[in-house]
Amino acid sequence: MSIYTIVIHGGAGTILKEDMTPALESSYQKGLKDALNAGYDLLANGKTAVEAVLAATMSLENNILFNAGKGSVFAKDGSQEMDASIMEGKNLYAGSVSAIKNIRNPVELAYTVMTKSPHVMLSGKGAYEFAKMQGIKMEPDEYFFSQFRYDQWKQMQGSNETALDHNVVVKDLPAGQAGKKFGTVGAVALDIHGDIAAATSTGGMTNKQFGRVGDSPIIGAGTYANNKTCAISCTGHGEPFIRAVAAYDVSCLMEYRGLSLEDAMKVVVHEKLIKMDGEGGMIGADAKGNTAMVFNSEGMYRGRISSNGKNEVAIYKNNML
Segment contacting a copy of itself by CB under 8 A, of 24-32, 46-54, 59-67, 245-253: 245-253
What is d(CA 12, CA 314) in angstroms, rounded to the nearest whole number? Answer: 12
Rank residues 220 and 303 by Cβ distance to a copy of itself and give the closer one. 220
Quote the least distance from Cβ 181 to a copy of itself, whole Å: 18
Q: Would residue 184 show up in a list of annotated catalytic residues for this protein?
A: yes
Q: What are phi and psi of 74, to 5 degrees?
A: -95, 135
Is residue 238 near a copy of itself by the rule CB under 8 A?
yes
Interface residue with a copy of itself among 157, 162, 260, 307 (CB under 8 A) is: 162
Is residue 3 near a copy of itself by the rule CB under 8 A?
no
Q: Is 204 helix (H, G, I), strand (E, B) or coil?
A: coil
DSSP assignment of 150-202 equals HHHHHHHHHHT--TT-TT----SSSTT--S-EE-EEEEEEE-TTS-EEEEEEE
Is residue 110 near a copy of itself by the rule CB under 8 A?
no
What is d(CA 304, CA 284) in angstroms, rounded to the nearest whole number? Answer: 10
What is d(CA 226, CA 286) in angstroms, rounded to the nearest whole number? Answer: 9
Cβ atoms of residues 190 and 196 within 8 Å: yes
**What is the sign, positive or negative, of the torsion defined by CA atoms of 206, 211, 217, 221?**
negative
Interface residue with a copy of itself among 3, 44, 173, 252 (CB under 8 A) is: 252
Burial 82-116 (b: 16+ CB within 10 A, else e): bbbbbbbbbeeebbbbbbbbbbbbbbbbbbbbbee
Count of positions on this chain that bind a copy of itself (CB under 8 A): 46
Rank residues 236 and 303 by Cβ distance to a copy of itself and give the closer one. 236
Interface residue with a copy of itself among 4, 40, 130, 295 (CB under 8 A) is: 130
Is residue 282 near a copy of itself by the rule CB under 8 A?
no
One-letter amino acid for residue 277 of the chain = D
Give me the 262-281 binding string for a copy of itself, x by CB under 8 A, dash otherwise.
--------------x-----
Catalytic-role residue among 5, 112, 184, 202:
184
Segment contacting a copy of itself by CB under 8 A, of 180-188, 236-244, 302-310, 313-321: 236-244
Beta bridge partners of residue 186, listed in sequence order: 9, 200
Cβ atoms of residues 57 and 175 within 8 Å: no
Give me the 168-207 binding string for a copy of itself, x by CB under 8 A, dash otherwise.
----------------------------------------
Interface positions, 12-71, toward a copy of itself (CB under 8 A): none
What is d(CA 23, CA 60) in angstroms, rounded to the nearest whole number? Answer: 18
Segment contacting a copy of itself by CB under 8 A, of 114-122, 135-143, 228-236, 309-317: 114-122
Is residue 209 near a copy of itself by the rule CB under 8 A?
yes
Q: Which residues bind a copy of itself (CB under 8 A)?
A: 87, 92-94, 98-99, 117-127, 129-130, 162, 164-165, 209-214, 218-221, 224, 238-239, 242-245, 248-249, 252-253, 256-257, 276
- Which residues does the annotation mark as catalytic? 184
